[in-house]
Structure 1
Amino acid sequence: MDVDLRKLRYFVAVAEELHFGRAADRLHIAQPVLSRQIRALEDEFKVQLFARTKRSTELTEAGRQLLDDARPLLASAEAMRRRVVQAARGPKTFTIGFMPGITVTPAVRAFGAIHPDVEVEVIRTTWVDQVDVLHDGRVDVSVVRLPIVQEGLSIRPLFEEPRVAMLRSDHRLAGKPEIDIADLADEHLLQPPDAVPEWRDIALELRTGQAKPVPEMRSVEEKMEHVAAGSGVSIIPLSVATFYQRPDVAAVPVTDIAANKVCLAWMASRRSRLIYDFAELAVTVDWTPQT
């Protein structure tokens, strides 16, 4: 059976929205058209993908499996499209993703010296999309901060740096030269607990089952706004804290948590000479955070 990528895109939109009306708006198509396409997809697979009632739309077990498989397939198709378009454009371009607090200029200059005929572009990424940009072809390589889902990627370590606690400027700990993670036991962490395993082990809100939801934040600026408002605390790499300094937020070193690991990542399936050359020079560049 040939899989229709358009139907898969429609399915993913409904699966993520769990609402046909919202999914139709997102796709800019009429809802009856979307419903027909989903029914056609179910007929092709000969399974029910959604359990629908007048009040709700939920994924079936088959639907959940298809969602898991459809996302990387669509990302791979988009990556292929981008690379074909790029090849047709000429001249050669090479795109580097990088996380906040990381300066890629030395690596870009070194790469340009080796490949003066290649146009180098850079894209700043976030915790949300630092791996997505590899899978969908927006970048050739990405300078990422661990942890990430490494499936399908090649990884090369670059450097490590300490992490600090970001606190509101009038916080009880804001003036201290350094703290232990245990000092934050009764705080609300503005990021997933797995991002700071040491805090997870001592956090009162987790032990008492009273953890508040973490707001969705797509940028460092948004995170700093929540900290400044007194919504909680955040643990971030030192270079990020240095770059995003503001008077109403204080950065305090945390002595007993693991350093943040920074790596170069690229799709393991790629066989690009440019990628290999950049990976080779990346380990020779001085990535020391400028603090």
Structure 2
Amino acid sequence: MTDLRLILYFEVVYRLLSFSRAAEELHLTHSAVTRAIKSLEDAWGTQLFYRTTRSVVPTEAGERLYPMAVELLAFAETVHHETVSGDRELKLVGGPIAFDILLPTAILAFSEALPQVRMRADVMPPHAAIEELVQRRVHVVLFNMSTLQAMPHAGRLQFQEIMTDDFIMACRPGHPALDAADDLARLLEFPWAFPGYLHYLDGQLPPGLTKMMERAGAPHYTLYSPTACMNLSMISDVMTIVPLSLATAHLQAGHVVGRRVPGVPKYHLGAAFRREADLEPNIRHFLDCLSTAAREMERSNAERMKSFN
């Protein structure tokens, strides 16, 4: 296998078109750089530079090697960074429910025990998130449990249910739909906005409810962000359906009114991680922090649900 240092020396010589200047940048002697390039050429059986007393010119092989050498060196640096900093960085991918509700509380608890660990959380569709997890570019993925378990590569992953949450209907105060809160057919006559992740519950909805929605052409709007759905419901007659946890602040402030939604299953928030990652203390501690925050949220939600009609 070719020594990575030889690729580094080649990159510097190519970039500077000078063995002397390359030696200065690398803090080596001119002869050491010359020998290194000759060693690489001999190992590969091809000439990489035309040398004269006045110039250094890459051969066609050298021209082909250079962009790949740059990529290889960059990748090596990434490998080094990930290996050394892996214990100091936690990368998450998920959806709005986990990030908007549970993540702030979990971060505070996590940082108290491990303040040196940085955290990065990105939002992306479930299929893309699982691919990032399998490729080891993230540590934990947070989505609906049924969504996670239906994804490709499920056999290579481990799952943990974090939280269950009730969906509620939300609309502006004084909305005429409030007089028909128990009549689903009447409710579907109004325009609806659904959070995009609700699409992944399609297979779990009762057949009768699915057919009623199809006949009514619901939803009129599909927005990935539940916050956007609630904001729309506050300023118009558009109704929405969101997990109770995400609507709590708006309910308490009187911005929206909530009602139970008949026939819609609970939202089961789950975490996916690679099987071997369960032994990583940072990941394990973060999942424990999430679960603790979720238990408190579930207790509060159970009390709030008692107040709904």
TM-score by length of structure 1 reads 0.53
Structure 1 SS opposite 2:230: helix
Corresponding residue number in structure 1 for 2:119: 121
Give 1:171 shift. 2.0
Kindly state the Cα deviation for residue 202 of structure 1 after the two structures are TM-superposed.
3.2
How many residue pairs align between the two structures? Answer: 207
Are 1:181 and 1:257, in contact at CA under 8 Å, matched by a contact in 2? no
Aligned to 1:168: 172
Matches within 5 A, 1:7-46: none
TM superposition shift of 1:194 = 5.7
Aligned to 2:159: 155
CA shift for structure 1 position 243: 3.6
User: TM-score, with normalisation over the residues of structure 2?
Assistant: 0.50
Partner of 2:131: 135
Give unpaired runs (5+ residues) of structure 1: 1-79
Q: Tell me how far apart the structure 1 counterparts of residues 205 and 179 of structure 2 sit (CA, whole Å).
A: 22
The alpha-carbon distance between structure 1 residues 144 and 213, as it changes in their structure 2 partners (threshold 3 A), is closer
Tell me the alpha carbon deviations over residues 228-273 of structure 1, each in whole angstroms, 9 at most, x when there is no partner: 4546432211010114557553222335532211222224575762
Shift of 1:169: 2.9
Residue 274 of structure 1 and its aligned partner are, at CA, apart by: 3.5
Q: Verify the 8 A CA contact 1:106 1:285 in the aligned structure 2.
A: no
Corresponding residue of 2:70: none
Partner of 2:260: 253
Per-residue CA distance 1:15-63 (angstroms, 9 max, x = gap): xxxxxxxxxxxxxxxxxxxxxxxxxxxxxxxxxxxxxxxxxxxxxxxxx
Q: Where in structure 2 are the equivalents of 1:1-291 lying within 5 Å? A: 85-89=81-85, 92-97=88-93, 99-100=96-97, 101-105=100-104, 107-112=106-111, 115=114, 118-123=116-121, 125=123, 129=125, 132-136=128-132, 139-150=138-149, 151=151, 152=153, 153-174=157-178, 179=182, 181=184, 184-191=187-194, 195=201, 197-198=204-205, 201-202=208-209, 206=213, 208=215, 211=217, 214-228=220-234, 230=236, 232-245=238-251, 249-254=256-261, 256-268=263-275, 273-274=280-281, 277-278=284-285, 281-282=288-289, 285-287=292-294, 288-289=296-297
Distance 1:200 1:172 in 2: 27
Secondary structure in structure 2 of the residue aligned to 1:202: helix
Task: Please provide the CA RMSD for this pair.
Answer: 4.2
- TM-superposed CA distance for 1:119, in Å, is 0.8
CA distance in 2, matches of 1:163, 1:212: 16
Aligned-residue offset at 1:278: 3.2
Amino acid at match of 2:271: L
CA distance in 2, matches of 1:83, 1:229: 49
Q: In structure 2, what is the equivalent of residue 15 of structure 1?
A: none
User: Greater Rg, structure 1 or structure 2?
Assistant: 2
Structure 2 gaps of 5+ residues are: 1-75, 302-309
Closer/same/farther in 2, CA of residues 248 and 277 from structure 1, 3 Å limit: closer
Aligned-residue offset at 1:114: 5.5
Q: Distance in 2 between matches of 1:103 and 1:113?
A: 16
The answer to whether the Cα contact below 8 Å between 1:169 and 1:248 also exists between their aligned partners in 2 is: yes
Identity %: 14
Query: Given that residues 213 and 219 in structure 2 are in contact (C-alpha distance below 8 angstroms), is that contact kept between their aligned partners in structure 1?
Result: no
The answer as to whether partners of 1:184 and 1:203 remain within 8 angstroms in 2 is no
Query: Is the 2:188–2:213 Cα contact (8 Å) retained in structure 1?
Result: no
**Structure whose residues are more often helix by fraction:** 2
